[in-house]
Structure 1
Amino acid sequence: MKISTLLLSCILSATAAFGQTPCQTGRYASDVYSTVNVTSDIQYGSNISFSGSTTSLTMDFYEPAADTSVARPLIIWVHGGSFQGGTKTDVDVQELSNRFAKKGFACASINYRLGFFPLDSVNAIKAVLRATQDLKATIRFFYKDRATTNAYKIDTTRIFIGGSSAGAITALHVAYLDQACEIQDYIGSTDLNTLGGIEGASGNPGYSTKVAGVINLCGALGRYSWLEAGDIPLVSLHGTADATVKYNRGTVTPFGVAIMYLDGSRMLIERSCALNHPHKLYTFRGAPHVPYAGGGATQIAYMDTTVNFVRDFLVERLGCTNMALQPENVPSQTANLYPINYCNGSPVNEVCILGLAENTAANEMILYPNPASSQVTIQCDSEGAKTISVIDISGRTVMSQEMNENGYTLSVRDLNKGTYFVHVLDHGNQKALVKQLVIQ
């Protein structure tokens, strides 16, 4: 009898360690703990800030009080603040950490390197890279802990990363920006190497940065194409009236300054559907940026929806079968996937950019020669004032001219080789004409 009892005890302990029994007892799906313990200012690494000073990188760790589990799933939360401000104690990340710790998750809320100047796309990219390097150092910290002292009792096969606004942008880029060549249009190899490359040197080298899923709250990705088949699952919540990080595709505008184009949650779900990639999106119709942040009744209602929708995603990823609390709704707006160039040289086959499909009839606008090398003639079938814009595949307008006749020759010899779109806004007919142009 003693042998049988001991064997049963071992089996039950092993089952609990792999998270099967907790699902059955309500852990992860409901508030099974009433009290949360917080350990503040744990240093997980250090690195050089944008101003050149050495910065200590710290986090706060949230765990259920009196928790006896030895292999807990972990959520690492990254605060927002346009990469210029914010802290690990921001109200929304504190609320998220406390709520999920009560469900039996361990949570970490991190500080990361902030600041960039001047406010332009190149320096913004550097700020995003610094943040991603710091988040990766946090992930490695928990892998290192598991392999050594195991002080935090984390199951490293069940680490999730997420955040709000800039924090969500950081998490998305950690998850899906995995090749240096993907950002070569934004930052050169010399600057990238100076920053420490994609992985960075913020701490805990030699350990894994693999995670099980991403939580995107009002965030965006530099290019939707960085999300590829076989990538880790994603859950997103985003407001359609977000004026800071657009729900669809558009310029991100921290402090009212247009920095660069990003692909919001609507573009990412479109990409996921095309790839059969696991991704759930909840659309806050008519809601602004981070509508769940704050303590008012409206904000609390948005926070409840956010927690329930993320909870549904997490319990599913953990293999639980609990009923969903917040069903997925239908996305708003139309997402147009623009042309993309892959690092491996795969052919470009999408034909939409900036929400405008290449839908111009042959007799409305003609480009010749196309492909072009030094100049291209643009001919339209209508008279009157028009604005010609040449747009690259990242959404940047690289050239703009006024055109008053129905024909115009444009010099393109200073443009890099590649795929562009010629966009003609016909002021008289209130119509936009778009044609693809290849420069070789």
Structure 2
Amino acid sequence: MKNLFISALLLLSFSVSAQERFINDSFELKTKETRTYAIKNSEELKLDIYQPEKDTMQQRPVIIFMHGGGFSGGSRTNPAEVKFAENAAKKGYVAVQISYRLTRKGQSFGCDYKASGKIETFKLAAEDFMDAVDFMIKNKQKFNIDTSKVIVGGSSAGAEAVLNAVYNDRLMFEDATKHREINFAGVFSLAGAVVDARYITGQNAVPGVFFHGTKDNLVPYASAPHHWCDPAQPGYIMLDGSKTITEKLAKLNTSYMLYSFNGGKHEHAGMPFDYLPEVFNFFKSVFLNGESKQVEVYK
């Protein structure tokens, strides 16, 4: 009877621990690792890997995040991105922050920059993003990664690159089948958009978490011109933002969580630390455990 009681306590303890993983801060952090994932035009593209210390789990979900900055600035070492990665690793995730080619550095990405150039910019960033994902998957054993639990995200320009790579792969890549073996578990977008939401299908309708201001003056909340350019300007291009994307996911019976900030502008590309408990709960229930949810929150 005594052994049975001890076994029951151990089982209960394991159950509580399992519930807390990916939700609560349960680990210390390992020393950050920096790797080069690609070299393009003599430029080393690097990523930083954050991991939980003394975690015995053999296959862990990974979050790969791409910073914003208008394809001209920003860094994987931005304090907010680093804080998010550390937060995720303390919960048991492998968290990755990536650098990529800043092809518009010192140049405009606004209404004076031609639309075809904007599309090419999206393509190059999406290519870098997928190369970083490939690198982590190839090193899955070293970092104890569960390749069926790959969560990807980005802020502003980074979100545009990630969303286009996931939902508009046929537009972004000459050979869209190259990455077909990668099955994304979820997307985390902060003020992002795609070129065309019509390309979201039952095959690539990945569940997502979206944050967006309804009056975003750079990246449209619904469907509108990028930077609100006039049709006569060179940089006029229509984009589909978070609201349009989630409307398409709803039609495809795909899970999503959309936080809409009434009157908010592009400041909601920033990391939503006040809402991360809800974000990580959604990650666990939907991205990791496969539950079905469609949640819309208006602030």
Q: Sort the TM-score into its range (normalised by shorter chain).
A: 0.7 to 0.9
Partner of 2:215: 241
Separation (CA, whole Å) in 1 of partners of 2:70 and 2:138: 30
1:205-244 aligned at under 5 Å gives the runs 208-230=181-203, 231-244=205-218
Q: Report the Cα offset of residue 268 of structure 1.
A: 1.0
Aligned length: 276
Q: Report the Cα offset of residue 198 of structure 1.
A: 5.0
> Relative to 1, partners in 2 of residues 1:330 and 1:28: Cα closer, same or farther, differing over 3 Å?
closer
> Relative to 1, partners in 2 of residues 1:112 and 1:140: Cα closer, same or farther, differing over 3 Å?
same
1:135 and 2:105 matched: no
> Relative to 1, partners in 2 of residues 1:209 and 1:319: Cα closer, same or farther, differing over 3 Å?
closer
Partner of 2:259: 282
- Contact 1:27–1:104 (8 Å) recurs in 2: yes
> Relative to 1, partners in 2 of residues 1:63 and 1:259: Cα closer, same or farther, differing over 3 Å?
farther
Separation (CA, whole Å) in 2 of partners of 1:96 and 1:63: 12
The structure whose residues are more often helix, as a share, is 2
> Relative to 1, partners in 2 of residues 1:106 and 1:198: Cα closer, same or farther, differing over 3 Å?
same
Percent of paired sites with the same residue: 28
Partner of 1:291: 268
Q: Report the Cα offset of residue 134 of structure 1.
A: 1.1
Q: Deviations over 1:123-176 (max 9, x none)?
A: 111111111111111111122123xxx211111110111010111111111111
- Contact 2:64–2:153 (8 Å) recurs in 1: yes
Q: Report the Cα offset of residue 91 of structure 1.
A: 2.4
Q: Deviations over 1:177-204 (max 9, x none)?
A: 232xx47xxxxxxxxxxxx73569xxxx
1:312 and 2:285 matched: no
Structure 2 SS opposite 1:93: helix
1:86 paired residue among 62, 66, 74: 74
> Relative to 1, partners in 2 of residues 1:273 and 1:207: Cα closer, same or farther, differing over 3 Å?
closer
1:251 paired residue among 225, 230, 233: 225
> Relative to 1, partners in 2 of residues 1:174 and 1:21: Cα closer, same or farther, differing over 3 Å?
farther
1:158 and 2:128 matched: no
Separation (CA, whole Å) in 1 of partners of 2:290 and 2:208: 17
Q: Report the Cα offset of residue 62 of structure 1.
A: 0.6
1:122 and 2:116 matched: yes
Separation (CA, whole Å) in 1 of partners of 2:56 and 2:228: 43
Partner of 1:177: 168
The structure whose residues are more often strand, as a share, is 1
Partner of 2:273: 303
Instruction: Return the letter of the residue paired with 1:86.
Output: G
More deviation, 61-70/21-30: 21-30
Instruction: Return the letter of the residue paired with 1:65.
Output: E
> Relative to 1, partners in 2 of residues 1:94 and 1:255: Cα closer, same or farther, differing over 3 Å?
farther
> Relative to 1, partners in 2 of residues 1:70 and 1:259: Cα closer, same or farther, differing over 3 Å?
farther
Separation (CA, whole Å) in 2 of partners of 1:81 and 1:172: 16
Structure 2 SS opposite 1:197: coil
Structure 1 SS opposite 2:169: coil
- Contact 1:142–1:156 (8 Å) recurs in 2: no
Partner of 2:243: 266
Q: Report the Cα offset of residue 34 of structure 1.
A: 4.0
Report the aligned-residue RMSD: 3.2
Q: Deviations over 1:373-398 (max 9, x none)?
A: xxxxxxxxxxxxxxxxxxxxxxxxxx
Q: Report the Cα offset of residue 282 of structure 1.
A: 1.3
Separation (CA, whole Å) in 2 of partners of 1:94 and 1:291: 17
Q: Deviations over 1:232-268 (max 9, x none)?
A: 2111111113111121112222999955221111111
- Contact 1:93–1:163 (8 Å) recurs in 2: no
Separation (CA, whole Å) in 2 of partners of 1:284 and 1:24: 33
> Relative to 1, partners in 2 of residues 1:198 and 1:125: Cα closer, same or farther, differing over 3 Å?
farther
Q: Report the Cα offset of residue 36 of structure 1.
A: 5.0
- Contact 2:222–2:240 (8 Å) recurs in 1: yes
Q: Which runs of 5+ in 2 are unaligned?
A: 1-6
Structure 1 SS opposite 2:249: helix
Partner of 1:145: 139
Partner of 2:4: none
Q: Report the Cα offset of residue 94 of structure 1.
A: 1.3
Separation (CA, whole Å) in 2 of partners of 1:273 and 1:133: 28
Rg (Cα) greater in structure: 1
> Relative to 1, partners in 2 of residues 1:241 and 1:101: Cα closer, same or farther, differing over 3 Å?
same
